[in-house]
A and B are shown apart, each in its own frame.
Chain A
Amino acid sequence: MPKKMGLFVLSLFFLTAMLQATFKKEDIKVHRLENGLKIIFYEDHKIPNIAYYTFFKVGSRNERPGLTGVSHFIEHMMFNGTQKFGPGEFDRIMEFYGGANNAYTSDDMTAYTDWFPSHALEKMIELEADRMQGLIFDPKVFESERGVVASERRMSVENNNEAILHENVRATAIMAHPYHWDVIGWMSDILSWRREEVIQYYRTYYAPNNAVLVIVGDFDSQKTLDLIKKYYGPIPAQSPPPPVTTTEPPQMGRKEVVIKKEAQTPSFMVVYHGPRCTDPDFFALSLLEKPLLQGESSRLYRRLVRDEQLAISVSGGIEEKIDPYLFSIYVKPRPGADLDKIEKVIDEELNKIIEQGITEQEYQKAMNIIRSDFYFSLQTNSGKANLIGAMELLTGNYENLFTIVDRYASVKREELPAVAKKYFNDLNKTVGKLIPQGGSK
């Protein structure tokens, strides 16, 4: 859930074959302060600007019932006042200095993304260091921001049929692990978070030893490190947060969720439990999603949209998460389309992959897509900062960015059917249907 408009798409895990000389591992510098704060620098002087990304190892994965959505709420409160800077001043000062920012919270992490002209660097470091420890959670502002988040939930979930279905399917497929709930949290939790609990949560997770800074752009690493020491150095480390220990038990049979609501078009999705993003199977499934779901040449697009004309669009794939999550297939059915038929087509196509795998052409296509997307994401300071930071947080080491090519290349085409068989089976499957009220099936 981002602070502002627009959906955040985590673009990670792109192939690194023949990494261009202009973006080398040796040019990335890393430093760790005594309080545990890790800083990753990459200088790039093409434009007089800097992308300054702060990642905290906290997301909805770290929440518990009653406190769902609180990670995202703190993301909002991070703009609402510290002992040093009053509510809203963070944004006012940043914009006065020519900077802009956004933030997002996912299941696994919270990121604060600042973009500003180089001359504003020291002020930005001061602002970011300050809010890492000094939030005041003014009670009046707390209530007002609660209203903003409730509005965000109404907009992004309750007025969006796909999101309603997704929330229900996720909560049905995942029983025990905190991935059970969406990042935004349940409405009743949003309306009843208590201030003291939220402050406690902030103290636990917003600590230098639980954060990573990624700085990309037009600056001098040594001078910047001196400034970082000056502003972040005095912030004390905290006890490490408790680990997330809940493991999702294996699913033991097909599940189905049916939502009935006023709508003009139905919605449909299928999910399978998948592996965590560091698992070798993850790369196989990430590769498989391309011929299955990506682009108009993909198998499911061909069958559902073009040939059988059951759907307006299809999308989905495996998402990269710290703990095992889902492989999702989203279908936007045509009004009145037979949803059972759609499920049957998906089953048939998955079975073909289990029985015959994918063609050499499809394998090459997946590799080309992975490689192109990787370079597309390296075009900007912010693209690089996001890639470095997300890799560091999800896999524990940003350097994986430079070796991930080997992970993909090590997946043999012949191994794909076995991986498909392991995950794409009925016991592991949850189906979601949103059926327009009073409408056709």
Chain B
Amino acid sequence: MNRLLALFLSILFLIPAVSMATIKLPQPEKIVLENGLTVYFYRNPELPLVSFRMIIPGAGSAFEPQGLDGLANLTAELLLKGTSTMTAEEIAEALDFLGARFAISDAEEYATVYGECLSEHLPRLLQIASECLISPAFKEDEYKKELSRKIDNLKAIKDNPGSALRQYFRKAYFGDHPFGHLSVGTDSSLKKMTLQEIKKFYSSRYRPDVAIMAVVGEVEKEKLLEILKSTIGKWPKPSTPAPSISIPPVPVPKGKKLIFVDKPDATQSYFALGAPGYPVGDKISARASIMNTLWGGRFTSWLNTELRIKRGLTYGASSSFQSWKIGGLFMASSYTKNDKIGEMLDITFDLLKKAKAQGFSAEEVDSARNYILGQFPPTLETNSSKANAYLRLIYYGLGFDYYDKYLKEISNARPEDIKAVATKLLPESDFVLVVVGKGAEAKKHLEKYGKFQEKKITDPDF
């Protein structure tokens, strides 16, 4: 049987698989501690495990002073490197001893705290966590160790074209906007870094009255309250008002911004193409998910079909939307042999044009809808993913019925809506394109796109 005909018939005989996913995010209880910390709790007795997560708005990388990339990340890391009563070794030993998972890290808009352990170890884990948050020592020698490790890590990042691309792209796209701050730091920012700045960042940005926490797992509410009061509840609320956490509008590319990074030992060229997305909770979210699923978001997406499945140019090609409170980003990326990068980009741009002009068929939209609905329940399967969902809903002000509404919108989207989203969001002539590859082999295939600003991988910064 002819391959295309077979596909046609198989689609005809597919039973419409649309059915609302029956999972609902359980409603958590809200607890407000005396220091202003808000805690959302849901008891899940299934396994003897508990997860907690916290976000501290305003303590993310977007709030670093200009030119001090990596400050928020260093601050978060140093919280685990000694407190008023424990040395860095003692903290590491205590955490490892429990077999617990614990991390403090930085996103753009906030710092995050994540912990997960056997229920019996929760009191001890929360005790260590609150010590780290409440009374970090910020010792000079620990700071120097972390800083120098970070400086060396920049070189390791540049040895890997994929991870180097992410840093170059972020700088190229966001420029001086706070979202352009790199958590890994830059050669110049780490040179300028001081412990004084870190202490200042911590004391003004880490505070319980703006933080939100979620706890999910096997622990009784009374017991949890008792533990919280004697640990994180002791985090004093500062007398000063919380600093502003507003972020200027995300820049919108005008025209093409093209950057080529020469990495002479690369056997492949890696590209990232970026354009504006949409903010979290935007009305367009559900439709944009369907559109992205079809264009570059899953294995059979247009992009992966053309670049990988049909042509074997790459191991993987994908696109995604990333969203924040004040805006978002669309990004497509892949990689191929240096001399094929021109062909790869031609196909990518053709697919963007095609989606804007033609949109997607009814069958395709059905398929994306079924896919998103079918894959949704496992995203809330674990304690940690439930805790994360609570924090997102609260921080972004989405309401606890957000997922129900979102899934309903997914169910109701029509092909013409999806085409409209493609026309609106997919880039045509205004975008940022960054390529990391071997110049001697790749550059001649890129000339047709215009003039690339050139960088060498060995130059400092990104």
Decide if A117 touches B21 in the complex (CB within 8 Å).
yes
Q: Are B314 and A96 in contact (CB under 8 A)?
A: no
Task: Write out the residue numbers on chain B whose beta carbons fall within 8 Å of the beta carbon of A93.
Answer: 10, 14
Question: CB distance A265 to B310 under 8 Å?
Answer: no
0/1 string, A358-374, CB within 8 A of B gives 1: 00010011001111110
Q: Are A22 and B149 in contact (CB under 8 A)?
A: no
Verify if B117 is at the interface (C-beta below 8 Å from A): yes
B375 proximal to A (CB < 8 A): yes
Contact indicator A148/B3 (Cβ below 8 Å): no
Pick the residue among B158, B265, B308, B375 that contacts A148 (CB under 8 A): B308
Which residues of chain B from 10 to 51 have any CB-CB distance to chain A below 8 Å in the complex? 10-11, 14, 17, 19, 21-23, 46-49
Q: Does B316 contact A (CB under 8 A)?
A: yes
Contact residues in B for A152 (Cβ distance below 8 Å):
315
Chain B interface extent, by class: 35 or more
Of B98, B161, B264, which is within 8 A of A262 by CB? B264
A97 touching B264, Cβ below 8 Å: no
Known contacts A96-B14, A116-B374; is A154 also within 8 Å of B3 by CB? Answer: no
* Contact status A312-B311, CB under 8 Å: no
In the bound assembly, the distance between CA atoms of A159 and B158 in angstroms comes to 11
Binding-face segment, B228-236, B237-245, B345-353, B378-386: B378-386
Q: Which residues of B contact A159 (CB under 8 A)?
A: 160-162, 266-268
Contact assessment for A148 and B21 in the assembled complex, using a CB-CB cutoff below 8 Å: no
Residues of chain B within 8 A of A49, CB atoms compared: 374, 377-378
Question: Which chain B residues border A99 with CB–CB below 8 Å?
Answer: 371, 374
Residues of A within 8 A of B156 (CB): 264-265, 312, 332
Give the complex CA separation of A86 and B22 in angstroms: 33
Chain A interface bracket (under 10, 10 to 19, 20 to 34, 35 or more): 35 or more
CB contact under 8 A between A298 and B96, given known A148-B314, A159-B161, A382-B378? yes
| 18 further interface pairs, Cβ-Cβ under 8 Å (given A86-B7, A148-B312) | A47-B381, A49-B378, A87-B309, A92-B7, A98-B370, A101-B299, A116-B374, A117-B17, A151-B313, A151-B336, A155-B268, A265-B159, A296-B96, A297-B95, A369-B99, A372-B117, A378-B47, A379-B49
Residues 154-179 of chain A, each 1 if its beta carbon lies under 8 Å from chain B, else 0: 11101111000000000000000000
- Choose from B89, B148, B155, B367 the contact partner of A95 (Cβ within 8 Å): B367
Q: Is A66 an interface residue (CB 8 A)?
A: no
Nearest chain B CB to A8 CB, angstrom units: 14
Task: Please tell me which one of the listed residues B96, B148, B159 contacts residue A309 in the complex, with CB atoms under 8 A apart.
Answer: B148
A88 vs B377: C-alpha distance when bound (angstroms): 25
26 contacts between A and B (CB under 8 A): A22-B46, A46-B381, A47-B380, A86-B3, A86-B6, A87-B3, A89-B7, A91-B300, A96-B17, A99-B374, A100-B371, A117-B377, A147-B312, A148-B312, A154-B337, A155-B268, A264-B158, A265-B156, A297-B89, A332-B156, A361-B97, A365-B96, A372-B117, A375-B47, A375-B49, A379-B381
Q: Across the interface, do B371 and A98 meet the contact criterion of CB distance under 8 Å?
A: yes
Interface residues of A in 182-213 (CB under 8 A from B): none
User: Would A22 and B373 count as touching, CB distance under 8 A?
Assistant: no
Q: Could you tell me the distance in whole angstroms from the C-beta of A397 to the nearest C-beta in chain B?
A: 24
The 4 closest A-B pairs by CB, nearest first: A98-B374, A147-B312, A372-B99, A368-B99
- Asked if A373 and B99 make an inter-chain contact with CB atoms under 8 angstroms apart, the answer reads yes
Complex contact A151–B268 (CB within 8 A): yes
Closest residue of A by beta carbon distance from B265: A262
Chain B residues 233-280 with CB under 8 Å of chain A are 264-268
Partner of B310, one of A81, A144, A368: A144
Q: Does B206 contact A (CB under 8 A)?
A: no
In the assembled complex, the Cα of A235 lies from the Cα of B370 at a distance in Å of 30
Asked if A38 is at the interface (CB within 8 A of a chain B CB), the reply is no
Counting CB contacts under 8 A, is B430 at the interface?
no
Please, how many angstroms separate the alpha-carbon atoms of A419 and B367 in the complex? 55
Interface residues of A in 1-34 (CB under 8 A from B): 4-5, 18, 20, 22
Partner of B116 from the list A86, A87, A265, A376 (CB cut-off 8 Å) is A376
Cα–Cα distance between A364 and B97 once the two chains are bound (Å):
7
B155–A265 contact, CB under 8 A? yes
Say whether A392 faces chain B, with CB atoms less than 8 Å apart. Answer: no
Q: Which residues on the A side are within 8 Å of B49 (C-beta)?
A: 375-376, 379
Interface on B for A, CB 8 Å cutoff? 1, 3-4, 6-7, 10-11, 14, 17, 19, 21-23, 46-49, 88-89, 92-93, 95-101, 116-118, 121, 145, 148-149, 152-153, 155-156, 158-162, 264-268, 298-300, 305, 308-316, 318, 335-337, 363, 366-367, 370-371, 373-375, 377-378, 380-383, 458
- A368 surroundings in chain B (CB, below 8 A): 97-99, 118, 121
When distances are taken between beta carbons in the complex, the residues of chain B under 8 Å from A85 are 6, 10
Q: How far is the CA of A375 from the CA of B384 in the complex (A)?
A: 13
A1: min CB distance to chain B, Å: 10
Bound Cα distance A148, B98 (Å):
43
Given known contacts A97-B17, A148-B314, A261 and B265 CB-to-CB distance under 8 angstroms? yes
Contact: A145 with B312, CB < 8 Å?
yes
The reply to whether the CB of A143 lies closer than 8 angstroms to some CB of chain B is yes
Query: Known contacts A100-B371, A265-B152, A375-B49; is A151 also within 8 Å of B378 by CB?
Result: no
A372 to B120: give the CA distance in the assembly, Å.
11
In the bound complex, do residue B378 and residue A89 qualify as a contact, i.e. CB atoms below 8 Å apart? no
Instruction: State whether A155 touches B299 (Cβ < 8 A).
Output: no
A369 touches B268 (CB 8 A): no
Interface residues of A in 93-147 (CB under 8 A from B): 93, 95-101, 115-117, 119-120, 143-147
A residues in contact with B366, CB < 8 Å: 96
A380 with B47: CB separation less than 8 A: no
Q: Which residue of B lies closest to A366 (CB)?
A: B99
Neighbouring A residues of B48 by C-beta, 8 Å? 18, 20, 375
A115 touches B382 (CB 8 A): no
Cβ of A427 under 8 Å from chain B:
no
A143 to B311, CA, bound (A): 9
B218 CB to nearest chain A CB (Å): 9
B interface footprint on A275-317 (CB within 8 Å = 1, 0 otherwise): 0000000000000000000111110001001100100100000
Of the listed residues B159, B266, B371, the one surrounded by the most CB atoms of chain A closer than 10 A to its CB is B159
CB <8 Å contact, A306 and B299: no
| Residue A334 is within 8 A (CB to CB) of chain B in the complex | yes
What residues of B have a CB within 8 angstroms of the CB of A115 in the complex? 375, 378
The residue from A151, A305, A376 contacting B314, defined by CB atoms under 8 A apart: A151
Cβ–Cβ < 8 Å partners of B96 in chain A: 294-298, 365, 369
Q: Give the distance to chain A from B440, nearest Cβ to Cβ, in Å.
A: 13
